[in-house]
Structure 1
Amino acid sequence: MSNGSGRSKLYILEPLVQKLPEVRSPKRHISFKEKLIWSGLAIVIYLVMSRIPLFGGAEQPMEIFGQLQVVLASRAGTLMQLGISPIVTSGIIMQLLVGANLINLELGDPRDKALFTGTQKVLAIIVGAVQASAFVLSGALTGGEMLGFGMTAFLILQLIIGVAVVLFLDELVSKYGFGSGISLFILGGVSAAVFWQAFNPTSLGGELGGAVPNFFSALMEGTPGALSRAFYRGANLPDMLGVISTVVIFFIAIYVINMRVEIPLSYSRYGGMRGRYPIQFLYASVIPVILSSVVFTNVSILARATNLSFLGSFDANGNPIGGLYYYLNSPNGISQVMAEPFHALFYLVALVVFCMGFAWLWVQMTNMAPSDVADQLKSSGMSIPGFRRDTRIMENMLSRYITPVTLLGGATIGALAAGANFLGALSTGTGIVLAVSIAYRLYREIAREQLSEMFPAARKLLGG
């Protein structure tokens, strides 16, 4: 326990952690139907809470997270105002502390793992309280109006309750459903935003809000000007160019997700039988994009809490107009990119660099580094043909593949998300990339679960 260098100081929190309510792990196999029910229930609760307005808040609250709102499963002015931001932020902090050996926990030990998880919950609530206080005290949720102590505290309490509910819904889905609650909430938010922007039948400023209804309206009008406006219209209204961009990004993301490098292996326990170890091109998945988005969002929170102009300045509607956070917001659409090329370049470089950094960091902290994989392969009786069965040699060979793939995968996912924004894809580029990855992973998990239901004997082989 604790890397053999004494017990972690975090154990002073163990009595508190043990008293926290939790969703207990199932002691039996959860059927496909049950997983579907629990996952659906979690989504319904989340959607209901994202429609419940904050009592005491402004009727027209600022969209504080801007274009990152969908990615963070947030909805302005509701109980889901903070979305998954506190949970992901606490996760980043805890992983960094473990990776740097500052809290002396060994996640392979069940007791340390339980303490880590419980402490992360506590930290998520604390981060949520800090973010809620920053939003309420800055007047972002009250239309600039300063409230009394009682109403201010009640507003903050509502937001903290929202964070707690998301925490337990995520835990519920992770243990009894498909994937994780955070993934489902992101997928649900992005899917709803894409569908609404594509098919919204209502009128906005004399034009149909949805890209597809507006396109058919232009076809019926039959003039070249109408058709041109159907494919490109400003004022942040969705158009057919955005629909086409979304479809293109969808297929590119699917292709990139399926790219992989295969390392030949031999099994010493089975007479030298050959096999392959696949290394996905997106080795760290889309985690780097989520973490980068949360970091960018926290810059906005700091800017609002401190009123430091170099961090960010905002207009009356809460939109960034200057400072660092302004440049960490992507231009949306080709026209904005052409109008502000430096802004677009800064955002692209920042997102790619952050994604590469978080990809490498995530791999180091989640037992996916070359040394960890080498130990796993050796313990399984595998070796690389033509090389001695030595962990150091295997680690050296694996690092030639894993490190470049990790960094290139992080850069690619960042560039793909930024490119989708630059092309004006529906919702946000980051949201589209995340939704595609999450949907594809859920599809594979559901297919595997269905197979294990049909053939129970294959359940152990599939890890069910």
Structure 2
Amino acid sequence: MFKTISQALKVKEIRGKMIFTLLMLVVFRIGSNIPVPGINREYLAQMFSGDNMGLFELFNLFSGGAFNNFTIFALSITPYITASIIVQLLTIAFPYFERLAKEGMEGRKKMAQITRYMTIVLALIQGLGLTVGLFKQTIVDQSWFTFIVITLILTAGTAFLMWLGEQINEYGIGNGISLLIFGGIVARIPSGIASVWNKYQEGTMSIITLLLFVIFAILVIVGIIEIQQGTRRIPVQYAKRVVGKKMYGGQSTHIPLKVNQAGVIPIIFALSILQFPLTIMYFFPNTPFYEFCEKYLSPGGSPGVWVYAVLNVLLIIFFNYFYTAVTFNPVEVAQNMKANGGFIPGIRPGRPTVDYLSKVMSRISIVGAIFLAVIATLPTIISQYTGLNVHFGGTSLLIAVGVALDTMRQLENQMVMRNYQGFLK
């Protein structure tokens, strides 16, 4: 990795893209610290003084702390992520979106435009909900004009981040939206280390617990790298065919099926469902509903930690299979192979190929699902028995390592493309 970065810095064009990406991330971090006007900061600090804030902590993870501080980037790019997932699901339910997905570049442009409009609508709804709901008591001037202004500021912040991500895609290195999430996660690492160190100095955490935590973090990072890079290669043979006076085909290749095809999406879906009742209970304190959620559904409850862990595992496995089925279509892969004269050795083209690909994908998906479940569940159990607030530690590491690997892969591709261009010249 360091060798690749050092070589890339020697190339003027790639060095410019890397500097541009870093500057965009700096702009993102500056905006994450600009507070929304007219807010009572002391009351806001009291709202998020607890360790377990339910779904709010997930929002805070994606915003890099901007949500808790109610800054102009408090919504982060979560509306864009939601809109992207909705558009992907619509390609299955509606023929119009399915047709757009198959139209190539023009179809992708239209889908990107629909995603942008949907992002603005979702940002307006979420911004209004936060302003007149959760953060209402922190607003000094309780007038509708103030509510509308704050809602527009939050929506504009999300639109700006969406534009920032697109600028990184066009002029920088890596996926812009993913890098913004990565920047928010990395920005919280120093405060997390300081919190752990303070607990150690105060005597609330022993040196053994600290060492076990460090070893656990290293093992998780190594495991994430192995699973993220892991693929099952399905061999494909292309038959020779004569077109005019030229012969095509005859070569062997493979289809790489990723072990973790769904990425971090199953964890996000599962956390959203599990954290929803824990979020609602904060609006109904001192009620039987609050006591029930605190005891049986909260990761800090007595039997609740195990109920939470079991439900988390089951939901992650379910959403892993669901999202893999959405993103990987064995029928389409089999049809493309057949149309180009390709076949899997020992497997007949057509329906047998579809069944074989579905069978292989189902088997490797269970490995990815179990891996995601372990990554997402272990931090909850560790938090219960060590007192460390790492409920979202596994998710943070998974996102950060995955984005880092993807960015390095794109950087290497840029280097390879440049070498090919130099060879052709």
TM-score by length of 2: 0.78
Q: How far does residue 362 in structure 1 lie from its aligned partner after superposition?
A: 3.2
The change in CA–CA distance for 1:315 and 1:431 in structure 2 (over 3 A counts) is farther
Q: Is the aligned partner of 1:430 residue 2:395?
A: yes
Cα distance in 2 between the residues matched to 1:134 and 1:428: 28
**Matching residue of 2:5:** none
Equivalents in 1 of 2:134, 2:411: separation in Å?
44
**Structure 1's 50 and 160: CA in aligned 2 closer, same or farther, altered over 3 A?**
same
Instruction: Provide the alpha-carbon RMSD of the alignment.
Output: 3.4
Q: Which residue of 2 aligns with 1:400?
A: 359
- Map 1:1-400 → 2, pairs under 5 A: 31-60=13-42, 61=44, 62-63=47-48, 65-74=55-64, 75=66, 76=68, 77-101=70-94, 104-106=97-99, 107-109=101-103, 110-140=105-135, 142-143=137-138, 147-198=142-193, 200=194, 209-211=195-197, 229-232=206-209, 239-269=210-240, 272-293=250-271, 299=276, 311-314=280-283, 331=299, 336=300, 340=302, 342-366=303-327, 368-388=328-348, 390-400=349-359
Once the two structures are TM-superposed, the CA of residue 141 in structure 1 deviates from its matched residue by 5.4
Task: Provide, for residues 263-301 of structure 1, a one-character-per-residue CA deviation record: whole Å limited to 9, x for no partner.
Answer: 23223247754443322211222233344445567x47x
Deviation at 1:327, TM superposition (A): 7.3
Q: Give the C-alpha shift of residue 42 in structure 1.
A: 2.1
Q: What amino acid is aligned across from residue 346 of structure 1 in structure 2?
A: V
SS of 1:422's partner is: helix
Larger % of helix: which? 2
SS at match of 1:313: helix
1:71 maps to a residue whose letter is L
Secondary structure of the 1:312 match is: helix
Q: Distance in 1 between matches of 2:325 and 2:176?
A: 24
Between the aligned partners of 1:229 and 1:456, the Cα distance in structure 2 is: 56
Aligned counterparts of 1:392 and 1:378: Cα–Cα separation in 2: 11
SS at match of 1:423: helix
- Asked if structure 1 preserves the Cα contact closer than 8 Å seen for 2:76 and 2:158, the reply is yes
Whole-angstrom CA distance in 1 between matches of 2:236 and 2:95: 36
- CA deviation string 1:144-192 (max 9, x = no partner): 7671111111111110111101111122222332332221122122222
Q: Which residue of 2 aligns with 1:236?
A: none
Would you say the 8 A contact 1:31–1:453 is kept in 2?
no
C-alpha change, 1:42 and 1:326, in structure 2 (3 Å) is farther
Q: Distance in 2 between matches of 1:324 and 1:282?
A: 32
In structure 2, distance between residues paired with 1:429 and 1:359: 16
Instruction: Tell me, in whole angstroms, the C-alpha distance in 2 between the residues paired with 1:264 and 1:382.
Output: 10
Structure 2: tracts of 5 or more residues without a match: 1-11, 241-247
Q: CA deviation at 1:348?
A: 2.8
Of 345-354 and 165-174, deviating more is 345-354
TM-aligned CA deviation for residue 111 of structure 1: 4.2
CA 172–359 in structure 1, closer or farther in 2 if over 3 Å, else same: farther
| Partners of 1:113 and 1:454 in 2: CA distance | 29
1:438: how far off? 1.5
Helix, strand or coil at the partner of 2:217: helix
Aligned equivalents of 2:399 and 2:160: distance in 1? 22
The offset of 1:379, in angstroms, is: 4.1
Question: In the alignment, residue 417 of structure 2 is paired with which amino acid?
Answer: S
- Please say which of residues 421-430 and 90-99 is displaced more in the overlay: 421-430
Aligned counterparts of 1:289 and 1:356: Cα–Cα separation in 2 = 9
Once the two structures are aligned, what percentage of the paired residues are identical? Answer: 22
The alpha-carbon distance between structure 1 residues 407 and 118, as it changes in their structure 2 partners (threshold 3 A), is farther
Give the whole-Å Cα distance in 2 for the aligned partners of 1:398 and 1:105: 21
Question: CA 1:326–1:257 in structure 2 vs 1: closer, same or farther (change >3 Å)?
Answer: farther
Distance 1:392 1:95, change over 3 A: same
Q: Is contact 1:283-1:405 (8 Å) kept?
A: no
Work out the CA distance in 2 between the residues paired with 1:71 and 1:381: 47
Name the counterpart of 1:3: none
**Helix, strand or coil: the match of 2:138?**
coil
Matched, 1:439 2:398: no
Q: CA deviation at 1:314?
A: 4.5
Query: 2:281 corresponds to which letter in structure 1?
Result: G
Do the aligned residues in 1 keep the contact of 2:233 with 2:257 (CA within 8 Å)? yes
Q: Equivalents in 1 of 2:81, 2:274: separation in Å?
A: 12
